């Protein structure tokens, strides 16, 4: 059966956001019948990560962050919770979901579903005080641009610039009328509403319970279980000179 998979999400008070997260984890369960898959949160709703780990008994466990970048939660909060887990519990922690080609696939699909006609895109991420996490968003923007054959401008809803509204205004000032905002977010909630407000009615949906994300969660679990890490080329600057890790 293998170690338990503990998926840990950021957390939201928005019931729609909780429902989307639960639907994504249900897709992971469907991909891995018989695997013990549990969902918990870092805050705002429960159960919490420490509570979930304490309830696992003696099972080996892989914690998979349902987080798109390796910001503060991945580098500090999750390791702290794992360090406080019961001593008899063997816990391995997977990489954050991004960057990865499966995320580009999901973003492109959401844009198509929303009626994008071929214009430029603002990739609206939550943003982080960790420059490395923002650099990962820029990597995704570069690869999404290649996938779409159109400009994709990374933007941040907090902690970094430009904001989605600033990025969209810049594209319109450059002569682009058909600008869409693509939320680089897992589900509905405060940041998704902020992205939609900046889009003036031209936004795709959050990534949500997309089949590509479920495959990516399972892949991160497999990598951590095998003791491997995603293959990544060196970064020569924030979001530059880097290829997406391949795993499929």
pLDDT in tens, 86-130: 888 999 999 999 999 999 999 999 999 999 999 999 999 999 999
The structural domains of the chain, ordered by start, are: 4-98+209-226 (3.40.50.1400), 101-199 (3.40.50)
CA distance 96 to 71: 9
CA-based radius of gyration for the chain: 18
User: Which pLDDT score is estimated for 231?
Assistant: 41
CA pair distance 127, 161, nearest whole angstrom: 9
Q: Which residues pair with 237 in a beta bridge?
A: 240
Q: Residue 236 pLDDT > 50, yes or no?
A: no
pLDDT digit string (tens) for 205-226?
Answer: 999 999 999 999 999 999 999 9
User: Which pLDDT score is estimated for 87?
Assistant: 85
pTM here is 0.90
Position 124 scores a pLDDT of 97
Q: Where does the chain have alpha helices with state H?
A: 15-31, 49-54, 72, 78-83, 101-113, 131-148, 164-173, 190-199, 211-226
Q: Pick the residue with more confidence: 21 or 246?
A: 21
pLDDT at 246: 45
Supply the pLDDT for residue 244.
65
Which residues neighbour 156 within 8 Å (Cβ) at sequence distance 6 or greater?
A: 124, 125, 126, 127, 128, 134, 137, 162, 163, 164
Measured in degrees and rounded to the nearest 5, phi and psi for residue 155 equal -140, 165
Query: Could you tell me if 9 and 21 are in contact, meaning their C-beta atoms sit under 8 angstroms apart?
Result: yes
Query: Mean pLDDT over residues 191-215, rounded?
Result: 91
């Amino acid at each position: 059966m293998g170690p338990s998979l503990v998926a840990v999400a950021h957390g939201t008070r928005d019931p729609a956001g909780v429902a989307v997260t639960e639907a994504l984890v249900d897709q992971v369960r469907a991909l891995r019948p018989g695997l013990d898959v549990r969902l918990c949160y870092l805050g705002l709703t429960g159960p919490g990560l420490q509570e979930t780990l304490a309830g696992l008994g003696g099972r080996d466990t892989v914690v998979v962050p349902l987080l798109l970048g390796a910001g503060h939660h991945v580098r500090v909060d999750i390791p702290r919770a794992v360090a406080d887990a019961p001593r008899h519990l063997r816990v391995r922690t997977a990489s954050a979901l991004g960057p990865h080609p499966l995320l580009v696939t999901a973003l492109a699909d959401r844009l198509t579903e929303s009626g994008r006609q071929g214009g430029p895109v603002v990739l609206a991420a939550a943003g982080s005080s960790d420059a490395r996490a923002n650099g990962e968003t820029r990597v995704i923007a570069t690869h999404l641009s290649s996938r779409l054959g159109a400009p994709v401008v990374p933007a941040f809803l907090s902690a970094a610039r430009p904001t989605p509204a600033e990025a969209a205004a810049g594209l319109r000032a450059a002569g682009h009328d058909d600008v869409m905002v693509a939320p680089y977010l897992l589900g509905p909630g405060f940041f998704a509403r902020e992205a939609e407000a900046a889009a003036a009615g031209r936004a795709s949906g959050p990534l949500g319970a997309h089949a590509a994300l479920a495959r990516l969660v399972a892949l991160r679990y497999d990598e951590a279980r095998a003791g491997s890490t995603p293959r990544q080329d060196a970064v020569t600057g924030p979001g530059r000179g880097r290829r997406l890790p391949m795993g499929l």
